[in-house]
């Protein structure tokens, strides 16, 4: 017998191929969600998720629509990873997704293969219509792609549903703990509790397994489906990992309680219906509804438990303003002060971005790269929100001083956004160094760090002068600018001399990094001059 033509090998190859597509879909969707973070989608979802009950309802409806708690769980992990919603606010969506997935059990393997290509087609068409719809076209397309990859995973294992050996495995299970474990492992393998639950309902309907075995198997399927989310979170940030663990803990704790009460729970299902298939589907529904209500009630201690289990000091970067609330009212001077405070928050994020960027010299970790990308995107988002706040302010009558201040603040905010881009460019320099396999000795990291730290101090000085300033303080900043510029020019001269004396010397990475810092100093200088002009024309 040719092993390469066996049914099991064909299933394995199809499964692995589909899994690769699924992992690619996760990465693609993650990037699209991050692009959406500055748009209306983020605002709507953020508002829904803030209320755990609305978040639960949203999670239930979305899962019922997509017919996949796995897809919703992965999407929630990606939303947290990209900073669209916080880990705290994600819990409601996770709880709700467990209720939404019961729709699949009730309809017994409803064919959702139509939805995936439909979303992909809709996404493609929206992208072709125009710029307004193009914003959401790619995310819709990649959600469809994600669902398609999940469908392919299930389809790859489809032959096992009618395989006599598999049917025999299920029908011969008599011990509830064994039934629970086998179902959990089988679901983890195929990445879909829907398939497992559907098989269990069919087996129960046909009298192949008793309700005392069917219910533990349904509970096992709930636990097994979490493997996909855990795999998806492996390469993501701390808070995404916490979401995946929270999703797992929800089912693990819930099923443990129900397994402990399996006999009375089974008797109650038999009391509600005489049909074993209906009993099994009802058990799935009631378990998830009761578990969700319990976890909603004790969501705070549950959140603390997850944080204790998944420890870390990583900062959660969220796409939201710190001082602007979106409905600013009051006197123009007070609103201008809020805008200034938001600008200082943007500078704080820029400082963190630059600090993360230079850390890549020592360790080019994926986590740090993701944080840098998020800080840069957050800077873009804050610039947009600051601009919106200023435009709202200009709709009322302003004094000459306040009118000029709005122009100054827009320019400053735009310059800070450009500083974020430069910080991202700095990170790319060090990533290129590692990619090319260049020796660290090619770079005078001590001198580069010294100049970098001086730039950070410059950022902090300019941040302090956003709210209140005077010419004396700005003159001191100018002195620091000149000192850094002198150091940079000195390093350029040293670089030129080394090129003339040492044929093996390259130094391009060092020059690229220094050049970016030099450009950053010019940006700070522009901000200082804008503030100085405002003071000279209208006072501090």
Do the Cβ atoms of 82 and 34 come closer than 8 Å?
A: yes
Is 57 a residue whose pLDDT tops 50?
Answer: yes
Is 364 a residue whose pLDDT tops 80?
Answer: yes
Paired tokens of 212: 């005392």
Of the chain, the percentage scoring pLDDT greater than 90 comes to: 24
Rounded to whole angstroms, how far apart are CA atoms 135 and 447?
43
Rounded to whole angstroms, how far apart are CA atoms 43 and 51?
13
Of the chain, the percentage scoring pLDDT greater than 70 comes to: 82
Residue in the block written with tokens 């990291």: 445
Is 157 a residue whose pLDDT tops 80?
Answer: no
Q: What is the pLDDT of residues 88-142, one digit of tens each?
A: 988 988 888 878 766 655 544 345 567 778 888 888 888 888 766 776 787 788 7
pLDDT top residue among 479 and 537: 479
**In this predicted structure, which of 83-92, 198-207, 333-342 has the lowest mean pLDDT?**
198-207
Do the Cβ atoms of 25 and 145 come closer than 8 Å?
A: yes
**In this predicted structure, which of 36-45, 202-211, 441-450, 518-527 has the lowest mean pLDDT?**
36-45
Rounded to whole angstroms, how far apart are CA atoms 315 and 237?
10
pLDDT for position 358: 92
What number of H helices and E strands is found in the chain?
23, 0
Question: In which residue ranges of the chain is CATH 1.20.58.220 found?
Answer: 332-538
Helices (H), ranges, 87-130: 87-100, 102-107, 115-129
How many other C-beta atoms lie within 10 A of the C-beta of residue 238? 19
Q: What is the pLDDT of residues 370-420, one digit of tens each?
A: 889 889 988 998 999 899 889 888 888 888 888 888 899 999 999 999 999
**In this predicted structure, which of 307-321, 458-472, 523-537 has the lowest mean pLDDT?**
307-321
- List C-alpha distances in Å: 206 to 30, 107, 183: 42, 16, 18
Do the Cβ atoms of 86 and 79 come closer than 8 Å?
A: no
Q: Kindly report the CA angle at 170 between 176 and 2, in degrees rounded to 5?
A: 140
Q: How far is CA 131 from the centre of its chain?
A: 25
User: Could you confirm whether domain 332-538 is CATH 1.20.58.220?
Assistant: yes
Give the 3-state secondary structure of residue 498.
Answer: helix
pLDDT winner (highest mean) among 172-176, 320-324, 351-355: 351-355
SS3 letters for 230-270? HHHHCCCCHHHHHHHHHHHHHHHHHHHHHHHCHHHHHHHHH
Q: What is the pLDDT of residues 194-219, one digit of tens each?
A: 667 766 776 777 666 778 888 898 88
Do the Cβ atoms of 282 and 272 come closer than 8 Å?
A: yes
Is 268 a residue whose pLDDT tops 90?
Answer: no
pTM flag (> 0.85) = no
Rounded to whole angstroms, how far apart are CA atoms 119 and 125?
10
Do the Cβ atoms of 81 and 240 come closer than 8 Å?
A: yes
Is 484 a residue whose pLDDT tops 70?
Answer: yes
Closest CA to 57 of 95, 102, 22: 95
* Mean pLDDT on 216-240: 83
What kind and span of H or E run contains 137? helix 131-161
Do the Cβ atoms of 423 and 376 come closer than 8 Å?
A: yes
Mean pLDDT of the chain: 81
pLDDT top residue among 191 and 469: 469
Is 37 a residue whose pLDDT tops 60?
Answer: no
pLDDT winner (highest mean) among 5-19, 101-115, 152-166: 5-19
Confidence of residue 3 (pLDDT cuts 50, 70, 90): very low
pLDDT winner (highest mean) among 143-147, 182-186, 255-259, 279-283: 255-259
């Amino acid at each position: 017998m040719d092993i390469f033509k066996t049914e099991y090998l064909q299933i394995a190859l199809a499964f692995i191929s589909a899994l690769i597509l699924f992992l690619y879909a996760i990465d693609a969707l993650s990037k699209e969600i991050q692009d959406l973070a500055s748009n209306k989608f983020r605002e709507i979802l953020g508002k829904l998720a803030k209320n755990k009950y609305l978040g639960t309802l949203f999670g239930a409806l979305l899962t019922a629509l997509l017919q996949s708690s796995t897809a919703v769980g992965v999407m929630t992990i990606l939303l947290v990873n990209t900073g669209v919603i916080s880990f705290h606010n994600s819990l409601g969506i996770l709880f709700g997704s467990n209720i939404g997935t019961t729709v699949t059990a009730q309809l017994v393997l409803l064919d959702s293969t139509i939805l995936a290509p439909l979303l992909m087609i809709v996404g493609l068409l929206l992208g072709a219509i125009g710029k307004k719809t193009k914003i959401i076209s790619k995310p819709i397309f990649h959600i469809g792609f994600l669902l398609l990859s999940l469908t392919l995973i299930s389809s790859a294992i489809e032959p096992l549903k009618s395989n006599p050996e598999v049917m025999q495995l299920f029908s011969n299970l008599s011990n509830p703990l064994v039934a629970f474990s086998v179902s959990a492992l089988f679901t983890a393998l195929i990445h879909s509790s829907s398939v497992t639950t559907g098989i269990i309902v069919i087996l129960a309907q046909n009298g192949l397994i008793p309700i005392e075995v069917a219910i533990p198997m349904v509970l096992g399927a709930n636990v097994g489906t979490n493997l996909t989310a855990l795999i998806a979170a492996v390469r993501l940030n701390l808070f995404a990992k916490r979401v995946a663990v929270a999703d797992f803990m929800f089912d693990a704790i819930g099923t443990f309680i129900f397994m402990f009460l399996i006999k009375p729970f089974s008797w109650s299902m038999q009391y509600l219906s005489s049909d074993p298939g209906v009993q099994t589907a009802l058990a799935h529904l009631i378990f998830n509804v009761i578990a969700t209500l319990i976890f909603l009630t004790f969501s705070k201690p549950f959140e603390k438990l997850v944080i204790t289990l998944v420890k870390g000091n990583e900062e959660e970067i969220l796409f939201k303003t710190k001082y602007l609330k979106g409905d600013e009212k009051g006197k123009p001077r007070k609103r201008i002060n809020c805008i200034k405070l938001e600008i200082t928050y943007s500078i704080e994020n820029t400082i963190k971005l630059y600090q993360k960027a230079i850390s890549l010299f020592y360790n080019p970790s994926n986590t740090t790269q993701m944080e840098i990308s998020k800080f840069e995107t957050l800077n873009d988002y804050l610039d947009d929100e600051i601009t919106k706040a200023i435009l709202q302010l200009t709709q009322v009558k302003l004094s000459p001083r306040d009118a000029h201040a709005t122009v100054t603040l827009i320019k400053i905010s735009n310059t800070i956004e450009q500083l974020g881009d430069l910080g991202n460019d700095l990170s790319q320099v060090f990533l290129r160094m590692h990619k090319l396999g260049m020796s660290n000795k090619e770079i005078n990291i001590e001198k580069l760090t010294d100049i970098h730290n001086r730039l950070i101090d410059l950022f902090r000085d300019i941040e302090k002068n956003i709210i209140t300033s005077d010419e004396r303080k700005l003159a001191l900043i100018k002195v620091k600018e000149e000192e850094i510029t002198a150091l940079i020019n000195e390093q350029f001269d040293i670089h030129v001399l080394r090129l003339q004396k040492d044929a093996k010397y390259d130094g391009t990475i060092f020059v690229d990094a220094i050049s970016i810092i030099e450009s950053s100093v010019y940006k700070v200088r522009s901000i200082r001059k804008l503030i100085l002009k405002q003071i000279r024309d209208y006072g501090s």
